[in-house]
Structure 1
Amino acid sequence: MRPIYSLNMQTPKQINMNEKTIYLSYWVRRYLTDYMLAAKNLSRNTVRSYRDTFRLLVGYLRDVCNKNPDKLHLQELTINVVSDFLDNQQETRNVSVATRNQRLAALQAFAKYVSMNSPEHMEWSRNIRNIPKKKAPKKMITYLEKSEMDALLSLPDQRSAQGRRDYALLIFLYNTGARAEEASDLNVSSVTLAKSKSESTIPLVTIVGKGNKTRRCPLWDNVCAILKTIINDRKPDEPLFLNRYGQRITRFGIYEVVSRYAQKLELQFPSVRDKRVSPHTIRHTTATHLLQAGVDINNVSSMKIIKRESADYHTRALSLSSVSLETGNKPLSHQ
């Protein structure tokens, strides 16, 4: 005989499920594994950043608050707890205001996810999402002047295989404004090159950026030439840029290459030391030089190098630079 349940009664399965949803650990697991990786399809760096936020939060709850994160109820993650956690990060880890705001953004995105899947937690979610970001002083855009960028590109010794690889990597970053991870992920098949001068194929590279958004960027003639020398007869599914061991270069490897030549550049341009040159600096350099060359900001933003809403980018880039359009200089010409 089937059991008869009243309207207020729940099956054992329903009871267990409702018990799970009150715990913070249940929602963190669902958010990181089911949502971020499967549904949201975010980049590895974004997932890693969000995971680090929860790892630090768990450590704070355990070591500072003396709470067992596995048994912590979601409602116990209050405004005060989150604010104290963010303050603790600034005090003990000496993180910047920008990093603090990134941690807060991760927790607020998590709160939004919870409310979408559990309406009974909407009030809790609203409270977390109303925690204000901390204001940080706006930093000036860091980029290299045309003379500095030319000097950087002249540093690799192209007589050696590694020197040619380094030069190809540096000028590729300058040509495309690609992020380090985007350049690392490229395969030989990502690049379309003309096989001969008579061929009408437009040389370009297909880059997969944040959120798996794809963009195509034309390649300069000298970039095509150096890429041909490092590709040789490699297969389409092989990495475009290799490390010294013949394996795919990582984004950390790209940072190391840029940093190594930036240190050499400081000997010629001591002011570069304050710019802390990185692959992202070259990315800013590409955007700034395009704007200085008269390229419309909408076209630059369509290349996913800068955000369109950065309206003051154009003004600052043109007003600060020593490269003047009136002199006829073309900032991106490096032949």
Structure 2
Amino acid sequence: MTKLAHHLGCFLREHLPRERGASANTCDAYAYAFQLLVCFAAKSMHTQPSLLEIDQVDAPLILAFLEHLESERRCSSRTRNARLAAIKSFFRYLEYHDVSCLDQARRIHAIPQKRTDEALVDYLTMPEMQSILDAPDSTTSMGIRDRAMLHLAFAAGLRVSELVQLRLDQLELSPQAAVHVYGKGRRERVLPLWKQTATAIRAWLAVREQASDPEVFLNARGGAMTRAGFEYILDKHAKAAAVLQPTIAAKRISPHVLRHSCAMHTLQATHDVRRVALWLGHARVQSTEIYLRADPTEKLEALAATGIPTLRRGRFRPPDALIEMLRSTKH
């Protein structure tokens, strides 16, 4: 029997970041998935996590763990599938480093992903988005920072990780304002910025204190902004904007909703899903098709292009007397 801790450490510290070139966010997500798994397994086996053997983490345990995620931790099907994907990736790694795990790995690979509902994306209308952009107090340095962050997150359609990790050397404010984004899957894209967005960023850089951190946006302590920090800022200004735009209060506002809003407004302006995919940094256009389902204008154009179906005038024929009698006498 082989200790789980040794192979798991090599997988997370060497294989993922060095051999696979996985991003820091992916490594963190996988590490958290295995933290949940080994804690669940150790509790089930009445042992310590560091003493777990690989053969103890078998398919029945994985199935029980997935059930635990959904029933007790209230995880969604998407989260359950993400945790299962991390586990399968680890056992693919084990197949080449411990041949005794081949049969065990094959049984775990046979565990199916759970089908998920494809709901319509949530997004903000332009009046709602404008009210959120206007919510920060532009007379304070933190308000100027918040306004620049909100403008950039919406105008460039950035993921929250791309926003908080943005460095000063990724900004180009002259002659044409643009931002260099290193996105998911190590894909780089260059996005031009609106004049209003560039103005908001210049205002923040003018009051930004000189700090050792290279990130563009800093928190109140002078350190790099975090995901949780931006979520708090967005929630605060969304509540303030809901006073002027009550429809905001009925929506769940998250950083990714700003990205969805950028995509929807870009699609409505260009009517080209390929341009939206390039703007968002999607590897495949299929990932961008969710915005086509949420945009009613595409359906309205299709409806207008087709003619209204006409019904032919028919003639009423009374039923045959014998057949009607037989039908009425059925028991």
Task: Provide Cα deviations, 1:43-99, integer angstroms capped at 9, x if missing partner.
Answer: 222222211111111111111232454443323322111001110122221212211
Partner of 1:225: 199
Among residues 54, 63, 67, which one is paired with 1:83 in the alignment? 63
> Structure 2 vs 1, CA of residues 302 and 116 (structure 1 numbering), >3 Å: closer, same or farther?
farther
Task: Provide Cα deviations, 1:117-143, integer angstroms capped at 9, x if missing partner.
Answer: 344433322221221112222222011
SS state of the match for residue 64, structure 1?
helix
> Structure 2 vs 1, CA of residues 135 and 212 (structure 1 numbering), >3 Å: closer, same or farther?
same
The question of 1:56 aligning with 2:39 is answered: no
Unmatched 5+ stretches in structure 1: 1-18, 195-200, 325-335
CA contact (8 A) 1:178 1:305 kept: no
How far did residue 145 of structure 1 move?
Answer: 0.9
SS state of the match for residue 243, structure 2?
helix
How far did residue 260 of structure 1 move?
Answer: 0.6
Q: How does 1:1-335 map to 2 (within 5 A)?
A: 22-194=2-174, 201-232=175-206, 238-306=214-282, 308-310=285-287, 312-319=289-296
CA contact (8 A) 1:188 1:237 kept: no
**Aligned amino acid, residue 156 of structure 1:** P
Q: Distance in 1 between matches of 2:187 and 2:258?
A: 21
Unmatched 5+ stretches in structure 2: 302-331
CA contact (8 A) 1:287 1:305 kept: no
How far did residue 294 of structure 1 move?
Answer: 1.6
**Aligned amino acid, residue 296 of structure 2:** S
**Aligned amino acid, residue 5 of structure 2:** S
How far did residue 186 of structure 1 move?
Answer: 1.5
| RMSD of aligned residue pairs (Cα, Å) | 2.5
Q: Distance in 1 between matches of 2:10 and 2:89?
A: 13
Greater mean alpha carbon deviation, residues 81-90 or residues 32-41: 32-41
CA contact (8 A) 1:86 1:100 kept: yes
CA contact (8 A) 1:206 1:216 kept: yes
Which structure: larger Rg?
A: 2
Q: Percent identity?
A: 28
Task: Provide Cα deviations, 1:277-330, integer angstroms capped at 9, x if missing partner.
Answer: 111110111111111112521222123355522364242232179x99xxxxxx
Partner of 2:323: none
Task: Provide Cα deviations, 1:155-199, integer angstroms capped at 9, x if missing partner.
Answer: 1121222221111111111111111221111222210111xxxxx
CA contact (8 A) 1:79 1:127 kept: yes
How far did residue 105 of structure 1 move?
Answer: 0.9
Q: Distance in 2 between matches of 1:271 and 1:150?
A: 13
SS state of the match for residue 107, structure 1?
helix
SS state of the match for residue 179, structure 2?
strand
Q: Distance in 1 between matches of 2:238 and 2:275?
A: 29
TM-score, length-scaled by structure 2? 0.82
Q: How many residues align?
A: 297
SS state of the match for residue 268, structure 1?
coil
CA contact (8 A) 1:32 1:47 kept: yes
TM-score, length-scaled by structure 1? 0.81
